[in-house]
Chain A
């Protein structure tokens, strides 16, 4: 059996003394696309943030192995250089930092880490112009400060654009579909699908079956109150649409 890209075992975490994750188990292999669904406040973004390395969480148990190494021991920047990418639910506006400059810095850090020569401004521009087309992003966005004054939809598309540039091995998309109009949703879904390769994997967090019509997941997991309470194929998303979380939880909770 090949090595998983990500293996989460019994992961528990506190925020400010409150337990949010209560023993998560999830294994993702290369070439797979997983979706996580779950009600508001169930811990989806918390899981994503912990995987990306945000500070402020207290890991109380379990482990995360990423391509054979202890992910939780790495700094966020090391994780990114190793190929982890988080498309933020709420991308941050950074006034004063030019988008192209930022992305070039990030891209070159990752190249440096891989032992590749850095790209200069011209080379980078040529490289990026291709990726811009994929996401149908107006090119002038790249001349503006990072996310600064971007519309909600532009911010989300910009996240996927960054993903296209940085070519991660493991990408987490936290509600990238929220706030997108139907055309933008198709563009984003197309982008994400295009970026799918046999040697990478994606974890898509969403509330809506709608996205999964365009991005077809191999597995769907239901996160409820800090635990994955049910996993299945893409039909699970449809089932959820029918029953709602409460319906599904009660059915699941009933002992066999």
Chain B
């Protein structure tokens, strides 16, 4: 896929709408001809939508702060063939969440690697497998959900993913079943060439009254500027209890765009976390549809950036039914010249009475050159609702630092305690203890590293 970008430095240049397909991709499109008709037509729609929409520019309201021109400028390389690409279990073990009791599915450059994957014993009827495999064997299981929640309509990257996705994870928990241990989906990139692209597509279906915890992590063994364009559809049935954590730690050159399209049923209880540590540019779109009455969801997120990284979170919380509660908490810790973006839209549809929607976005700037843009957007069409939002952008509080120092704690340590506390507000919301502890250690280490790179002020 080679995208035509005519203007140099064209931050606001023409939309990129042409997809020039390379041979591998053409072959893929042909191969997909034996896919179910409903999927083929979804792909067709995706392709058409992309041609219409093109990659967003800074003129698009939803992309005002995040310039994807570097992605548009990439000369996309053919995707890599399936295989391990030198990845071994030992190599994987250095990545977080790989020692959890639930086991994992591993994807190398977007392709399922069965020989690196292993799972703990699952309750009857629970399926954890590659999406390509289930499409080949039991397409009826995915048909009600796949491409129904992540809609290509308004999001060019979802349209792209829908057109090109080959594989990803499929998790299905039948009604009433509980999966005790967290399931880890590990996406690792070994791309050596600039522009190597993967479009992972995941579908997680938690049936009525079921329970499951899923971690989706994106990590890297390369230093090339590759591009991950992931889409996850997450469906929580009535009364389901779901914890979902997306962990992004791509390399510092990589581009990462991901969409989590979530659909929550009546009285379900879902918490989804987005942790963004890596990538040169990352954008996570979370579309949450509160489709049933009396449900509760928490959208929780933490982004840590340094250098010239940009981490963007874009959220649409759609209250479609009464008595729904949604709480969004996003904290960013921004060092050097990095940038954080948060855009939170809350939509309360007519009839979604007694909605309780809350949104907070807090940004901690560790340097004078770091910036944060935060934009709440409330659209409320019901009258008996409670909606609050708050955003802060600021530096570490000097009074707090002085208080700690006045008790004997050195300045650097005091700073770190405060930064860690700020991250801790988010990490503490992770319910699964093993995941929380691992994440806490990891974020702590990363903060220490970033501090070292940044140097003492």
Contacts and interface: CB of A to CB of B under 8 A. Distances in A.
B71 interface: no
B409 A77 contact: yes
B413 interface: yes
B421 interface: yes
17 contacts: A53-B405, A76-B402, A81-B408, A88-B403, A92-B397, A92-B399, A94-B403, A94-B418, A97-B421, A105-B409, A105-B413, A106-B409, A109-B413, A110-B408, A145-B421, A162-B407, A166-B407
Given A80-B408, A106-B404, A106-B407, 14 more contacts: A53-B406, A75-B411, A76-B406, A80-B405, A88-B406, A91-B403, A92-B397, A92-B399, A92-B403, A94-B403, A96-B421, A96-B422, A102-B404, A102-B417
B407 A96 contact: no
A73 to B, nearest CB: 15
B425 A97 contact: no
Interface string A60-100: 00000000000000011101110001101001101111000
Contacts of A21: none
A82 B235 CA distance: 59
Contact of B421 (A54, A55, A95): A95
Contacts of A166: 407-408
DSSP class of B's interface residues: helix, strand, loop or mixed?
helix
Contacts of A113: 408
Given A105-B409, A162-B407, A94 B402 contact: no
A52 interface: yes
Interface string A124-147: 000000000000000000000110
B189 to A, nearest CB: 33
Interface string B385-409: 0000000000001111011111111
A76 B405 contact: yes
Interface of A: 52-55, 75-77, 79-81, 85-86, 88, 91-92, 94-97, 102-103, 105-107, 109-110, 113, 145-146, 162, 166
A75 to B, nearest CB: 7
B410 interface: yes
A80 B400 contact: no
B417 A54 contact: no
Nearest to A88: B403
A107 B406 CA distance: 12
A110 B410 CA distance: 11
A75 B409 contact: no
B409 A96 contact: no
B418 A97 contact: yes
B78 interface: no
Contacts of A107: 408
A77 B421 contact: no
Given A55-B402, A92-B400, A94-B400, A80 B407 contact: yes
Contacts of A52: 406
The residue in A77, A86, A88, A107 that gathers the most chain B C-beta atoms within 10 A of its C-beta is A77
Contacts, number: 77
Central interface residue in A76, A80, A105, A145, by most chain B CB within 10 Å: A76
A106 B409 CA distance: 5
B96 interface: no
Interface of B: 397-400, 402-411, 413-414, 417-418, 420-422, 424-425
**In the A-B complex, the 4 residue pairs with the closest CB atoms:** A96-B421, A80-B408, A106-B407, A76-B405
B421 A109 contact: no
A91 B402 CA distance: 11
Given A94-B421, A96-B421, A96-B424, A86 B411 contact: no
A77 B421 CA distance: 20
A54 B407 contact: no
Nearest to A83: B408
Given A75-B405, A76-B402, A91-B403, A97 B410 contact: no
Contacts of B414: 77
Contacts of B397: 92
Nearest to B421: A96
Contacts of A95: 421, 425
A151 to B, nearest CB: 18
Nearest to B398: A55
A96 B425 contact: yes
B418 A77 contact: no
A12 B35 CA distance: 83
A214 B400 CA distance: 31
A103 B409 CA distance: 10
B211 to A, nearest CB: 29
A102 B405 CA distance: 11
Nearest to A80: B408
A81 to B, nearest CB: 5
Contacts of A162: 407
B191 to A, nearest CB: 38
A77 B411 contact: yes
Nearest to B403: A92
Nearest to B399: A92
Contacts of B405: 53, 75-77, 80
Nearest to B412: A77
A106 B421 contact: no
Contacts of B421: 94-97, 145
A80 B418 contact: no
Given A52-B406, A77-B405, A80-B406, A105 B417 contact: yes
